[in-house]
């Protein structure tokens, strides 16, 4: 059983106790074929839940079964709660902080030990400017937080103006945008410098507009007009981030491998749909159907250069696939990976080295994936309490046997991942 760190919630501890400490993955041979069921988008689900709560109604269909979304539902459903445990969920911590701030209710927001190492000062400073009374219960700039009320400028005639750096997590920006309509005169949010993860910001704007808000992109600023949200119904799309692991499997599978992924849209609000173009270079073609896609193999490029500023959650998957295929890849826009569930850059460097590959920094925030003699032959992959490390390395089982440690981490975004691998033909044992 993995060591239980301080800061794990009772639910997480029970999950870890009941989960296997490792899984041995093997591929029995032959092409990969079939239909893989994806979870619904966690990013869409958690934004929609906050907006639905602010709108006071509406029906959400196909909500994600990821732990982060189920956690958000539970916390929003308890009107009497005073302590909110965001566990290790970034969107829950950040979105809920903004939501509770404008509600004016006293509350304490806590999280796991790792969550309390992830900065939140930018959001807290912004909310304080808008009228929130928030104190740090521990280290300055980091959770846990104590919310003690809300006193906005009620007679304001102009939108509240905030200036935030564009290269911070887009979750801060989305959290502020979503509360914009309930501010007395709305919100004008100025973004400075390079803006990362733009598609996640656009997703937030699109969902806000679906629920009746007016949110305009003025170039260097985003403006939200005042006015209540309206209850609306919405069906969550399947998750493109989860789809990326099936792209990896098709890329690494035997000749003739193909897979169908239902529930994906050609015109998606999710930034991780960028996997279509990235994997086209790494040997996977995408054909869209009315309700999903079919992935098939094609000839890969000899060299790839990709900026991950708008799709950082794809970086681990792409690095692993490129290393296994022996395709040099230059990766930029990885700044936010150091403050995710783990330091994902360091984790990738350590784990890729086990297979004969490297991820080297060859300039300011410019990384290159190389593999001289890549081999999969029974290695153990550490997952670092990070769901994406487990799922990014799992497709390597198509190249040889490997063991994934602490496989229960996938519950964060794709609880049925291992079951879907079994359905696809993988042999999975402990």
373: tokens are: 């003699």
How many CB atoms are located within 10 Å of the residue 318 CB? 28
Domain ranges of the chain: 10-39+238-429, 42-229
- Does 216 have pLDDT greater than 70? yes
Q: Are 352 and 320 in contact (CB under 8 A)?
A: yes
- Range with the poorest average pLDDT among 12-26, 160-174, 222-236, 374-388: 12-26
Q: Is the domain defined by 10-39+238-429 classed in CATH 3.65.10.10?
A: yes
Phi, psi angle pair for 146, to nearest 5°: -120, 115
356: tokens are: 């004969």
- Does 380 have pLDDT greater than 50? yes
CA–CA separation, 403 and 23 (whole Å): 5
CA–CA separation, 391 and 414 (whole Å): 9
- Whole-prediction pTM: 0.85
More confident of the two residues 296 and 157: 296
Kindly name the residue from 85, 88, 239, 313 that is annotated as catalytic: 313
Q: Supply the DSSP string of 204-240, one letter for each residue.
A: HHHHHHHTT--EEE-SSEEEE---------EEPPBPH
Q: Are 417 and 391 in contact (CB under 8 A)?
A: yes
What DSSP character marks residue 220? Answer: S
Asked if the domains at 10-39+238-429 and 42-229 fall in one CATH topology, the answer is: yes
Question: Coil, strand, or helix at residue 24?
Answer: strand
CA–CA separation, 49 and 77 (whole Å): 10
Fold (topology level) of 42-229: UDP-n-acetylglucosamine1-carboxyvinyl-transferase; Chain (3.65.10)
- Does 157 have pLDDT greater than 70? yes
83-85 and 107-110 beta bridge pairing: parallel
Per-residue pLDDT band for 152 (boundaries 50, 70, 90) equals confident
Please indicate whether residue 272 is annotated as part of the active site: no
- Range with the poorest average pLDDT among 16-25, 135-144, 406-415: 16-25
Per-residue pLDDT band for 7 (boundaries 50, 70, 90) equals very low
CA–CA separation, 252 and 322 (whole Å): 10
Q: How far is CA 338 from the centre of its chain?
A: 14
CA–CA separation, 29 and 206 (whole Å): 44
126: tokens are: 């912004």
Q: What is the pLDDT of residues 36-50, one digit of tens each?
A: 999 999 999 999 999
Helix (H) or strand (E) holding 231: none
Helix (H) or strand (E) holding 82: none
């Amino acid at each position: 059983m993995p060591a239980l760190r301080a800061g794990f919630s009772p639910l997480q501890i029970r999950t870890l106790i009941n989960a296997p400490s490792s899984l041995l993955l093997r591929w029995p041979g032959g092409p990969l074929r079939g239909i893989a069921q994806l979870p619904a988008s966690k990013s869409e689900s958690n934004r929609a839940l906050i907006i639905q709560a602010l709108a006071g109604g509406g029906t959400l269909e196909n909500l994600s079964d990821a732990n982060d979304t189920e956690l958000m539902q539970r916390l929003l459903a308890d009107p009497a709660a005073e302590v909110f445990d965001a566990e290790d969920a970034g969107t829950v911590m950040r979105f809920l902080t903004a939501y509770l701030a404008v509600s004016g209710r006293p509350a304490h927001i806590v999280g796991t030990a790792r969550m309390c190492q992830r900065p939140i000062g930018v959001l807290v400073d912004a909310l304080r400017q808008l009228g929130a009374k928030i104190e740090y219960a521990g280290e300055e700039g980091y959770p846990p937080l104590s919310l003690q009320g809300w006193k906005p400028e009620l007679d304001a005639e102009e939108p509240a103006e905030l200036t935030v750096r564009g290269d911070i997590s887009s979750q801060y920006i989305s959290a502020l945008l979503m509360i914009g309509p309930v501010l007395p005169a709305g919100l004008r949010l100025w973004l400075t410098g390079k803006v990362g993860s733009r598609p996640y910001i656009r997703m937030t704007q699109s969902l806000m507009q679906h629920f009746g808000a007016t949110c305009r992109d003025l170039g260097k600023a985003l403006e939200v007009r005042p006015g209540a949200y309206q209850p609306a119904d919405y069906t969550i799309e399947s998750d493109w981030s989860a789809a990326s692991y099936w792209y990896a499997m098709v890329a690494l599978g035997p000749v003739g491998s193909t897979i169908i992924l239902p529930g994906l849209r050609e015109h998606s609000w999710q930034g991780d749909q960028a996997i279509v173009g990235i994997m086209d270079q790494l040997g996977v073609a995408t054909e869209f159907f009315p309700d999903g896609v079919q992935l098939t193999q094609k000839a890969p490029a000899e060299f790839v250069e990709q900026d991950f500023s708008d799709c950082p959650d794809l970086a681990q998957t792409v690095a692993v696939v490129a290393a296994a295929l022996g395709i040099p890849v230059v990766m930029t826009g990885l700044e936010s990976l150091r403050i995710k569930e783990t330091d994902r850059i360091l984790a990738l460097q350590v784990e890729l080295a086990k297979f004969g590959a490297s991820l080297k920094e060859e300039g300011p925030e410019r990384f290159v994936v190389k593999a001289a003699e890549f081999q999969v032959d029974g290695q153990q992959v550490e997952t670092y309490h990070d769901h994406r490390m487990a799922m990014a390395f799992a497709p390597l089982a198509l190249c040889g046997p490997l063991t994934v440690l602490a496989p229960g981490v996938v519950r964060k975004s794709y609880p049925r991942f291992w079951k879907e691998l079994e359905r696809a033909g993988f042999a999975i044992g402990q």
